[in-house]
Amino acid sequence: MNNQSKLENVNVTTLKNEKHAKASEAAALLKQRKLKKAGLFALFVGPAFLAFALIVLIPFFTGMYYAFTDWNGVTGNVKWVGLDNFTYLFTEDKQFQASFWLTLRYTVVAIILTNAVGFGLALLVTRMLKTRNILRTVFFLPNLIGGLLLGFIWQFIFIKGFASVGQLTGLSFFQLPWLGDEKTAFWGIVIVSVWQGAGYIMLIYTAALQNVPQELLEAAKIDGANRWQTLRHITLPMVAPAVTVCLFLTISSSFKIFDVNLSLTNGGPFKATEMLALNIYTEAFVNNRYGLGEAKALVFFIVVALITVIQVTYTKRKEIES
Amino acid sequence: MKKFPFAAGVLSLSLLVTAGCGNDKTTGEKTDTAGGKVVVDIFQGKVEIADQLKALTEQYTKEHPEVTFNLQTVGGGADGASALKAKFASGSAPDIFTIEGYQSTLTWKDKLEDLSDQPWVKDAYESALKPTTLDGKIYGQPANLEGYGFAYNKELFKKAGITELPKTMAQLEEAAKKLKAAGITPFSVGYAEWWVLGNHGLNIAFATQKDPDAFIQGLNAGTSKIEGNEQFKKYLGLLDLTVKYGNANPLTTDYNTQVTLFASGEAAMIQQGNWIQPMLDKLQPNMDVGFIPMPLSDDPATADKLAVDVPNSWVVHNGAPDADKKAAKDFLNWLVTSEAGKKAMVEDFKYIPAFKTIEAKESDIGPLGAELVKYSKEGKTFSWQFAKYPDGAGQQFGATLQTYVSEKASEEETLKALDATWVKLKK
Amino acid sequence: MENKYTGKLFILEIAAILIGLVFLVPFYYVVSNSLKSFSEILMNTSALPSVLQFQNYVNAFQQMDYLKVFMNSLMITVASNILIVVFCSMAAYMLVRTKKKISNIIFMTFVAAMVIPFQSIMIPLVKVAGNFGLLNSIWGLVFMYLGFGSGMAIFLYHGFMKGIPVELEEAAIIDGCTPFGVFWRIVFPLLKPITVTIVILNSLWIWNDFLLPMLVLQDPELRTIPLATFFFFGQYTKQWDLALAALVISIIPLLIFFFSMQKHIIKGITSGSIK
């Protein structure tokens, strides 16, 4: 390590000082520097990438191989079936298609609500409220409970709690057959995930909002801008990077929703709320059609990756513009 | 701060080293049989017996010091089957695990040791061996028996003036009317659970076919159909009856709520099995309960039956080292032949034994268990055909029947959808 | 933002507290039911407990072997966080500072992989893990968390790192700092706010994770808190009285952690003066 750093010192200083050195010497140095840079790059990026490749990439590609087979997840027989699984998905598997649209619908709703509520909460807790520290914790509290347990607890609330509130107040909202039909089950999942996700997103927006320079806001006030104009033209552009991050996080977590889906509704009633991740899981581990499940996962991955890449590139460009 | 890269290097190095050790350990476990010592890995999903089973394995180790156990129990809320598959994929397959039988015997058959020559085979009820019998070979040791029907509250029946227990569909409706008139909800229906409908409910229609196996083979071959079959129509009729005389919001009533309704005395009947006994004991100790059948006909001779079968069987992994396999088989044999094993099975596990040689007392298995034993001894049972469904069909059937209950699908559409599911999921 | 506490702010405060109360409703259910007997939970879910059953906590504590599972969870969470923070901040730094195509490709790979559903890779994952001897050991699990956590951590570090001016580093290089020195002395301290955020997010995830430890840890001695909690859930009967008490005692450490950490986020952000 010491040798290396000395080398680097020499390297840097020589480069800085001897600008008029001979061309060949400079070229040799340049090559050496390049090599060293590559080594340094590997040293910094290597460990994380190694773990990532071993734990995520290799299993991912192995899994993709099974997408072209009829493996059942247990036996040694793995038969190559080419694109059969994919043809089946797009032509015959109505449940997959239904799950796909459902997940898209859910994702749009969840992204909008989670970000809106999260941003609203962030605005609240960055005001000079006396209780802001407590509130910040309260809003974040839902994240402390793991997904599966969360679903079970909310089941209690929807089925028992809402019913008792309904009896007490007579409000029709609480007397709906919660989780018992498509609509209430769908919104039940939305409510739980917004309740949990908003605090998470709030945390990131809070950090960004604290970063908006006070002087800018004061200046806007002096210029006669109202609250909405300040928010629209000063605050929002300043927190644009946070928006990119939050959008990305909510998109990927909404698409991947599994725990809450499984424990709150288990896809029911009548499979009306079976989102994609649960559909994939059921296909692979309940129906014992592992190959088909992997084919679904591959389609799912491509679609979500495309959407998120488009989103990240788009909002990043926006950031630069503003 | 300067020490940091160094620390990081050491950290990753130590990671590799410990990882290496981990590897040695797992392979070591498999090879340490050479010294005469054997470690048997058991994987099971019933947390209710986790502690009791552990105690039992420890007792076995005391008697056989060369055999020790590594017991892994997976808690509920997660699917034990996927964890088991993961174990096989990772190369650390257990020596003993459980499967449900029938369809899953077929799925796992490559991995199962033939247990036909085991001494306990002759002691088991013949029907209890069926789930794990394939091509004349027996692959599993039945863990226990479970059964279901309509469990009923004897006190409420008395209160409503029902003197004769309903054994047919017409009598059941009669009883429901009487209960309702007495201000009691006749049925506690929990149709939020797919398995109450798709497995246990629909099973009655499969099991009451003239020849259930032939019918199922017909479904696989495309020669028989659910649509147009009398029993399925009748089952939907029974379903209508329970919904008509059941609690409000059947589709939001989950298992917990369903059992609570029954235990609290709000409802008089419940379509569940003897597994509700521990929960009843907690909610309403000493509740006077029994079973009546789920009748699909008006002929008491054919209708008066309960669905009793083996929910899980112990199986041995055929890829395990010979010493492990031998130890595993010896342990399973000890489990059902030794006095200690027999005693633990009924007194600690509270299991209804699947063996003729093991006697269960009502004080151990509760009134519901005792009633099942009585029906079994009289031969008034039918089996769990839902274990023969194609993988995943039970869930889909449950979903289809939920649609029917919510009145979003007609009888005809429902039966058609059941057929379509079978065709889609059969292999 | 405001200098004095106005009436408008007071109304806002009331509104905020009301929203906060709505957020707390599920916790009312958790805490009040954790103090009821099993039958009371099912019969009177919404009511306050009639008799406080502190015994639930004692039973849950003993049955899940709380101290042991707590230490396991703690060790896994702390070690994973250290690895993730150390290696991912380094990686993100290099990826931001090296303006090459390869950096972009690697970064996009990390990001794209975040959308892979875990369920679709778990079987191949345990296969790989079995081959590399990562199973049934806490360190194997920690290594896996590094793999799974790297995408998100690098994504967040990457975004944050761009706001740090290069001039600072160049000055340090001229002063004779090694690249490691530059990173750990100059850059890493500036990353504190985002580091705290990453640590919080990772801790929540790892502390509560159920599926991965279930697949990886076979030895009951290595059991984590979620694994122990799920022991209260049988195939049919869920022992809510014990499970909810277990949930409360497993959340409390996280809560304390979050309380102590959140000060750092705010402090870090205001004093770090990053622009």
* pLDDT tens-digit map of B326-359: 999 999 999 999 989 888 888 888 888 998 888 8
Contact A155 B254 (CB under 8 A): yes
d(CA B58, CA B77): 28
Cβ within 8 Å, pair B85-A181:
no
Residues of chain C with pLDDT under 50: 1-2, 268-275
For residue range B237-276, what is the model confidence (pLDDT) as tens digits? 999 999 999 998 888 888 888 999 999 999 999 999 998 8
pLDDT at B148 over 90: yes
Determine the pLDDT at residue B294: 92
Residues of B in Cβ contact (< 8 Å) with A152: 77
**What are the C-alpha distances in Å from B204 to residues A270, B147, B229, B294, B395?**
20, 12, 13, 8, 16
Cα–Cα distances in Å, from C140 out to A51, B13, B164?
A: 11, 13, 64
Look at residue A227 in the predicted model and tell me its pLDDT: 79
Token pair for B375: 């029906």
* HSE (side-chain half, CA atoms, 13 Å) at A85: 27
Question: Chain B window 61-120: which residues touch C at a Cβ cutoff of 8 Å?
Answer: 70-78, 82-83, 85-87, 89-92
The shortest C-alpha distance from B241 to chain A (Å) reads 20
Question: Bigger pLDDT: B22 or B325?
Answer: B325
**What backbone phi and psi angles, to 5 degrees, belong to B355?**
-120, 140
Of all residues in chain B, the one with the smallest CA distance to C188 is B1
Q: How confident is the model at residue B137 (pLDDT cuts 50, 70, 90)?
A: very high
The chains in contact with chain B, meaning 3 or more Cβ pairs closer than 8 Å, are A, C
Q: Using alpha carbons only, what angle is made at residue B170 by residues B169 and B174, rounded to the nearest 5 degrees?
A: 115
The closest of A100, A101, A107 to A299, measured between CA atoms, is A100
**B359-369: pLDDT as tens digits:** 888 888 889 99
- Interface residue B322 vs chain C (CB under 8 A): no
| Residues A8, C178: C-beta atoms closer than 8 Å | yes
Flag whether residue A256 sits within 8 Å of chain C, measured between CB atoms.
yes
Q: Note whether B257 contacts C: Cβ–Cβ < 8 A.
A: yes
What percentage of chain A exceeds 90 in pLDDT?
Answer: 15
d(CA A129, CA A207) in angstroms, rounded, equals 17
Backbone φ and ψ for B140, nearest 5 degrees, come out as: -140, 155
From A180, A270, A287, residue closest to B425, measured CB to CB: A287
According to the model, what pLDDT value does residue A319 have?
A: 64
Check whether B9 has a pLDDT greater than 80: no
Could you tell me the pLDDT band of residue B85, with boundaries at 50, 70 and 90?
Answer: confident
3-state secondary structure (DSSP) of residue A79? coil
Q: Contact A128/C1, CB-based, under 8 Å?
A: yes
Cβ separation of B78 and A1 shorter than 8 Å? no
Q: Which residue is it, tokens 């229906």?
A: B189
Nearest by CB to B256, from C135, C180, C238: name it: C238
C29 close contact with B: CB closer than 8 A: no
Supply B394's token pair: 């039970």
**Better-predicted residue by pLDDT, C47 or B144:** B144
Report residue C213 CA to chain centroid gap.
15
Contacts of A270 in chain B (CB under 8 A): 399-400, 402-403, 406, 408
Q: C27: which 2 tokens?
A: 């916790």
Question: If pLDDT is split at 50, 70 and 90, which confidence band does B13 have?
Answer: very low
**Cβ-based contacts under 8 A for chains A and C:** 261
pLDDT, tens digit, for every residue of B385-413?
Answer: 998 898 888 888 999 999 999 888 999 99
Nearest to B77 among C38, C42, C230 (CB): C230
Residue B283 binned pLDDT confidence (cut-offs 50, 70, 90): confident
pLDDT at A22: 62
Distance from CA of A45 to the nearest CA of C (A): 4
Contact indicator for B388, B216 with CB cutoff of 8 Å: yes
- Tell me which chain A residue has its CA closest to the CA of residue C252: A144
C117 touches chain B (CB under 8 A): no
Cβ of B282 and C38 within 8 Å? Answer: yes
State pTM to two decimals: 0.83
Distance, in angstroms, between C6 CA and closest chain A CA? 10
A105 and chain C in contact, CB less than 8 A: no
List of chain C residues whose C-beta atoms are within 8 Å of the C-beta of residue A41 = 94, 98
ipTM reported for the complex surpasses 0.85: no
Chain A residues within 8 A of C254 when measuring between CB atoms:
144
Identify the top-confidence range among A8-12, A183-187, C78-82, C133-137: C78-82
Average pLDDT over residues B92-96: 89
Select the more confidently predicted residue: A305 or A317. A305
Q: Give the C window 171-230 contacts with B, CB below 8 Å.
A: 180-181, 184-185, 210-211, 214-215, 218-220, 227, 229-230
Across the interface, do C26 and A139 touch by the CB < 8 Å criterion? no
Q: Which amino acid is at B327?
A: A
Percent above pLDDT 90 for chain B:
43
Tokens matching residue C251: 């959340």
Per residue in A153-181, pLDDT tens? 888 888 888 888 888 888 888 888 888 88
Q: What is the pLDDT of residues A110-149, one digit of tens each?
A: 999 999 999 999 888 888 788 888 888 888 888 888 777 8
- pLDDT score of A32 more than 60: yes
Asked if A270 and B403 come within 8 Å (Cβ–Cβ), the reply is yes
What's the angle, vertex CA A61, arms to CA A60 and CA A63, rounded to 5?
Answer: 65
Nearest to A59 among C26, C128, C201 (CB): C128
Give the pLDDT confidence score for residue B175 in this predicted structure: 92
| Residue B187 pLDDT class (50, 70, 90 cuts) | very high
With CB atoms and an 8 Å threshold, state whether B19 touches C131.
Answer: no
Is B275 at the interface with chain A, CB within 8 A? Answer: no
B25 reaches C (C-beta below 8 A): yes
In eight-state DSSP terms, residue A203 is: H
**pLDDT by residue (tens digit) across A203-234?**
888 878 877 777 887 888 888 888 788 888 88
**Distance from chain centroid for Cα B326:** 27
Q: Residues of B with CB below 8 A from C225's CB?
A: none
Mean pLDDT taken over chain B = 85
Query: Residue B43's closest CA among B79, B72, B82?
Result: B72
- The backbone torsions φ and ψ at residue C248, rounded to the nearest 5 degrees and listed phi first, read -60, -45
Parallel/antiparallel/unpaired status of strands B140-142 and B313-316: antiparallel
CA distances from B94 to B58, B197, B320, C253 (A): 18, 33, 8, 35
Whether the CB of A216 is below 8 Å from some CB of chain C: the reply is no
Surface of C (122-141) touching B: CB under 8 A: 122-124, 126-127, 129-137, 139-140
Which of A58, A74, A77, A294 is the best residue to mutate to test the B interface, defined by the most B CB atoms within 10 Å of its own CB? A74
- The pLDDT value recorded for residue B332 is 92
Q: What is the pLDDT of residue B416?
A: 93
Nearest-CA distance from A63 to chain C in Å?
A: 6
Query: Residue B5: is its pLDDT beyond 70?
Result: no
Rama region for A294: left / alpha / beta (φ>0; ψ in -120 to 50; rest): alpha
CA-based nearest residue to C153, from C161, C142, C164: C161
Write out chain C residues lying below 8 Å of B283, CB-based.
38-39, 42-43
Angle subtended at Cα A31 by Cα A30 and Cα A35, rounded to the nearest 5 degrees:
115
Contact criterion met (CB below 8 Å) for A106 and A188? no
Residue A23: predicted pLDDT? 67
Angstrom distance (rounded) from CA A260 to CA A283: 18
User: Which whole number is the average pLDDT over B176-193?
Assistant: 91
Q: Is C91 touching B (CB cutoff 8 A)?
A: no
A244 touching chain C per CB within 8 A? yes
| Whether A40 contacts chain C with CB within 8 A | yes
Residues B69, C111: Cα–Cα separation, whole Å: 43
Output A36 or B5, whichever has higher pLDDT: A36
Confidence of residue A249 (pLDDT cuts 50, 70, 90): confident
pLDDT value of residue B29: 41
Residue B270 — φ and ψ, nearest 5°?
-150, 135
Which element (helix H / strand E) includes A250? helix A240-255
The secondary element (H helix, E strand) that includes residue C131 is helix C118-131
Q: State whether C12 and A135 contact (CB < 8 Å).
A: no
- Chain B residues touching residue A92 (CB < 8 angstroms): 424
| Contact between A58 and C115 using a beta-carbon 8 Å cutoff | no
